[in-house]
Homo-oligomer: A and B are copies of this chain.
Amino acid sequence: MSAIRHALSVKREDDFAAWYQEVISAADLAEESGVRGCMVIKPWGYGIWERIQRLMDDRIKAAGVQNCYFPIFIPLANFEREASHVEGFAKEMAVVTHHRLISDGKGGLIPDPEAKLEEPLVVRPTSETIIGDAMARWIQSWRDLPLLTNQWANVVRWEMRTRMFLRTSEFLWQEGHTAHADKADALAETHRALEMYRACAEEDLAMPVIAGEKPENERFPGADETWSIEAMMQDGKALQAGTSHYLGTNFAHAAGIQYQDREGTQQFCHTTSWGVSTRLVGGVIMTHGDDDGLRVPPRIAPQQVVILPMLREKPEDEELLAYCEQVRAAVAQLSTLGEPIRVLLDKRPGKAAAKRWDWVRKGAPVIIEVGPRDMADGKVAMLRRDRLWDAASGKPAFQFITQDEFAAQISAVLEEIQHGMFNEARDRRDANITRGVTSMDAVADHFAEANTYPGWVEVQWSKPTGAALDAVVEQLKALKLTIRNVPRDAAPADGPCIFTGAPAVERILVARAY
């Protein structure tokens, strides 16, 4: 068995954080912009986001939710209305105070003191308060309910420590906002959105998640209930990958979202909000990346098949390009996973081997190389990104097959890669959730072992609130741990609470997290 020379300089097991940065750079996903806390999302990274957007948007529309667009600027007064929302958000926000620049007389520009806004505007960190204003205008009677809206937008939360895709000052997301006649209907929507996120994460991103309710201390500012999907990264840490909030009547009271019920009485609406963001791209990297770069699940890959002709900058190239174009056209006629196959013929100048490693690092699911000899034989050399190496030779595991064989199997290969990536990630996740941990000491021991990826532990608790919950949170924080969620489908509690000793009421997942 020969030694494999991987495409990245840092391995996951050596330095996961450095590996993450190297994948982003090697796969050409994004880069620092020079503007504090803001990144530039490059074509391949943005292409993955566009795919996620398209698939999520289809799910959103299928649920009868309608897209709208609301202003990026929110007046300060909106934040002052909802006390707990202020607490949670009013800290680190970008504040617009002027609407004009003038020359400083020294070749530079300064905000014009004459153009100071009477009321500063906040660049939206989230839009509950401004959409609440619209809901108050749009809703009169029970006939107007439920009101189901969503927007795709950029939001800004000033962050001191940023990490690309995971925590940036500006990020892209969708935010669903809905209003309902009663709690039951609003809760049903909260769960519908949660389930939509679970399905999209698992079926589209091939990223297994655990859906459950966040504990009180992790609730969205102003929410009565916050639910999340949590994914396990390859270093065993948790990534909160989407949240769905039942907001009770809190925002309805703040914004005056009322309706006349069938009996003619004025009632406050129950509202929800739910969102996922470009953070999902970070989740895809840390779920599927390997020591050769990114691996993109076929469903969200901007290109599923990349064809690389072995060009030599000679006249014979023309015939080879024609052959490759014929292969491309044939594949483009086929479908996989319910959509036409996305196939790219990469005609850029450069050596095929260098371009191959570009596409390996980017994580295109299938790479096809075609040289003059392959063409003469009517063949192609197929490389699957999920089975990159031939262990015996330590070389890339090319399969030499005829063009017809390739066309006959590519659809199934892509499906197999999609499902294989999910199964691999699910098995790893399942293997790294430790159950039956029955004391805080055991939790501490579990996470104390150096240089291992301890994954998550499931423990039972009595669901303390207020000061008792704060004490639990502090205990965990000392071990750099947090409560991720109460899994929707966990087994019932059957023992004592590991924090209080009282009879437990439910099971929670405890983990380190991004």
Contact = CB atoms under 8 A, between A and B. Distances in A.
B95 A98 contact: yes
Given A46-B69, A91-B100, A76 B109 contact: yes
A139 B72 CA distance: 33
A123 B123 CA distance: 9
B170 A33 contact: no
Given A33-B70, A67-B50, A111-B120, A97 B100 contact: no
A339 to B, nearest CB: 14
> Max chain B CB contacts within 10 Å: which of A40, A99, A134?
A99
A109 B69 contact: no
A349 B143 CA distance: 8
Given A34-B133, A46-B69, A156-B72, A99 B108 contact: no
Nearest to A75: B35
Contacts of A93: 99-101
A158 interface: yes
A105 interface: no
A38 interface: yes
Contacts of A98: 94-95, 97, 120
Contacts of A172: 69
B101 A91 contact: yes
B109 A99 contact: no
Nearest to A158: B99
B130 A33 contact: yes
A474 interface: no
A49 B350 CA distance: 40
A457 interface: no
A191 to B, nearest CB: 23
Q: How many copies does the complex hold?
A: 2
Contacts of A433: none
Contacts of A109: 76, 79-80, 86, 90
Interface in A83-126: 86, 90-101, 107-111, 120-123
Contacts of A111: 95, 97, 120
A264 interface: no
Contacts of A130: 33, 35
B149 A122 contact: no
Residue from the set A69, A73, A130 with the largest chain B CB neighbour count within 10 Å: A69
A74 B36 CA distance: 10
Nearest to A79: B109
A41 interface: yes
Given A33-B130, A38-B73, A130-B33, A149 B92 contact: no
A322 to B, nearest CB: 19
A68 interface: yes
The 10 closest A-B pairs by CB, nearest first: A38-B71, A43-B66, A41-B69, A95-B98, A99-B158, A35-B71, A97-B97, A95-B111, A94-B96, A33-B71
Interface of A: 31, 33-36, 38-43, 46-47, 49-50, 66-76, 79-80, 86, 90-101, 107-111, 120-123, 130, 133-134, 137, 143, 149, 153-154, 156, 158, 170, 172, 348-350
27 contacts: A31-B134, A35-B71, A35-B73, A35-B74, A38-B71, A40-B70, A43-B67, A43-B68, A50-B67, A71-B170, A72-B123, A72-B156, A72-B170, A73-B94, A76-B109, A80-B108, A90-B109, A92-B100, A93-B100, A94-B98, A94-B121, A97-B111, A99-B158, A101-B122, A110-B120, A111-B120, A143-B350
